[in-house]
Amino acid sequence: MKGAFGKKELLAVVPLSWSTIDRMERNGEFPQRFWITDRRCAWNSEEVERWLDERQARSPVEYAGKKPPVDQRVYRPVSNAA
- Supply the DSSP string of 17-30, one letter for each residue: -HHHHHHHHHTTSS
| pTM: predicted TM-score of the whole model, two decimal places | 0.73
pLDDT of 81 reads 62
How far is it, in rounded angstroms, from Cα 40 to Cα 5?
11
Stretch 32-43: mean pLDDT, rounded?
96
pLDDT band per the 50, 70, 90 thresholds, residue 69: confident
Q: Assess whether pLDDT exceeds 80 at residue 13.
A: yes
Q: Which comes out higher in pLDDT, residue 36 or 82? A: 36
Q: Assess whether pLDDT exceeds 80 at residue 21.
A: yes
